[in-house]
Amino acid sequence: MMKIKVNENFAALKESYLFSEIGRKVRAYQAEHPEKEIIRLGIGDVTLPLAPIVVDAMKKAVEEMGVKETFRGYPPEYGHAFLREAIAKYYKRKGVSVSADDVFVSDGAKSDVGNIVDILGKNKVLIPSPVYPVYMDSNLMSGNKIELLEAGEADGFLGTPDVLDLEPYVIYICSPNNPTGAVYDREGLAAWVKYAKESGSLIIFDSAYEAFIKGDYPHSIYEIEGAETCSIEICSFSKMAGFTGTRCAWTVVPEALVTEDGYALKKLWSRRQATKFNGVSYPVQRGAEAALSEEGVKQCAALVDYYMENAKIISEMLTRKGVWHTGGVSSPYIWLKCPNGMSSWAFFDMLLNEVQVVGTPGEGFGEAGEGYFRLTSFGSREATVAAVKRLESVL
């Protein structure tokens, strides 16, 4: 028997990660009913291919890797300068000032969201509910003390700092929110920045869905004055450019983030990344750079538009059926209330068994998600239309 100790904080986690549990149930159903065709509107994975400009850039980069003079070994651990600068320019086009030197390229927002706890100590952590489960699980793994900021229909699934005493927290904000699609306006986000500054808190702002925003909402927390003194921002190419399988993201850790003990978060994150991360491959970074060019942004916006048309098709059916729902306007997710007071998992089972449509139980995103359900617009048009027809027959 081994005499080593393990990280016992893992005992505080739910038995399986939400999407593993869904996968298990779907596999079990398929094994029992091999003749049934299942439509997946569950996991938030994209289905459209990469934009042509991205593919061309990646091909060219691969060619370079096959020639002695242009071959490259390890990439710089914080990202190639060309991509860090392209990201800074992308912000600039939105009227936001971010220094390329504060941008850290990575293989995914999930990695950064999960790894950021490495540089933080034993703080109180404030996590919205419902929300992307990685915030919660990564903090549980570190044994951190977590408070939930529950949101619901009454506040449009947008929690506010009004309910808090002035205490320092590490605050997670996801806008547009996964799973609810709720998006903060300037005033709402400014209230969080004000709270963070007054209380000495740190905001970790996840903007993975900023490219889906329609209308005059902030795409970045740095659109709010003073945010660079209290906020880290994490963004991803996954949904904006279809990079879920290609893997590339970034995190902005501004120079101005300094604790009262004199620690600069940028220095800590630089050290953490240099030690535990060896960079993103050159062809992928060239592809990401192309996605942020003016033409790349246009081509990627066409992908987003396609998904948003799916969202409209789902949303219109729910409206016809009188099912309460939100989202699907500034986000690829539709958040609906399970009919007849059903629980999230009961609704999941019903849809799987009766019409073979897979969605995501809201409860998996936190307790405040119980009784709700998430559908995604990332399927093909054909699959979405077929799923809508099936859903319409049981709702």
Binding site for ligand PLP (CB under 6 A): 44, 108-110, 113, 132, 174, 178, 206, 208, 236, 238, 244, 249
Helix spans in 200-258 (H):
237-241
Minimum distance from CB of 208 to ligand PLP (Å)?
4
Any idea which residue has 């547009």 for tokens?
Answer: 176
From CA 128, how far away is CA 90, in angstroms rounded? 28
Which amino acid is present at 233?
E
For residues 229 and 202, the answer to whether their CB atoms sit within 8 Å is no
Please count the CA atoms within 13 angstroms of the CA of 222 that sit on its side-chain side: 23
Residue 106's DSSP bridge partners are: 249
Nearer to ligand PLP, 132 or 345 (CB): 132
From CA 104, how far away is CA 99, in angstroms rounded? 11
Nearer to ligand PLP, 108 or 366 (CB): 108
From CA 35, how far away is CA 29, in angstroms rounded? 11
Nearer to ligand PLP, 244 or 343 (CB): 244
Q: What is the per-residue burial (b if ≥16 Cβ within 10 Å, else e) of 245-284?
A: ebbbbbbbbbeebeeeeeeebbebbbeebeeebebbbbbb
108: left (phi over 0), alpha (psi -120 to 50) or beta: left
The 3-state DSSP class for residue 326 equals strand
Minimum distance from CB of 36 to ligand PLP (Å)?
27
Nearer to ligand PLP, 317 or 365 (CB): 365
Nearer to ligand PLP, 212 or 317 (CB): 212
Locate 326 and state its tokens. Answer: 């939100």
Nearer to ligand PLP, 141 or 256 (CB): 141
Minimum distance from CB of 207 to ligand PLP (Å)?
9
Nearer to ligand PLP, 203 or 249 (CB): 249
Nearer to ligand PLP, 84 or 110 (CB): 110
Minimum distance from CB of 244 to ligand PLP (Å)?
5
Nearer to ligand PLP, 178 or 231 (CB): 178
Residue 174's DSSP bridge partners are: 206
Minimum distance from CB of 338 to ligand PLP (Å)?
21
Minimum distance from CB of 271 to ligand PLP (Å)?
22
Comparing every residue's Cβ against ligand PLP, the nearest one is 108
Burial class (CB in 10 A: 0-12, 13-18, 19+), 294: exposed
CA 88-235-158 angle, to 5 degrees, is 120
Locate 49 and state its tokens. Answer: 């291919």
Minimum distance from CB of 72 to ligand PLP (Å)?
23
Q: What are phi and psi of 149, to 5 degrees?
A: -105, 95
Minimum distance from CB of 132 to ligand PLP (Å)?
4
Minimum distance from CB of 287 to ligand PLP (Å)?
14
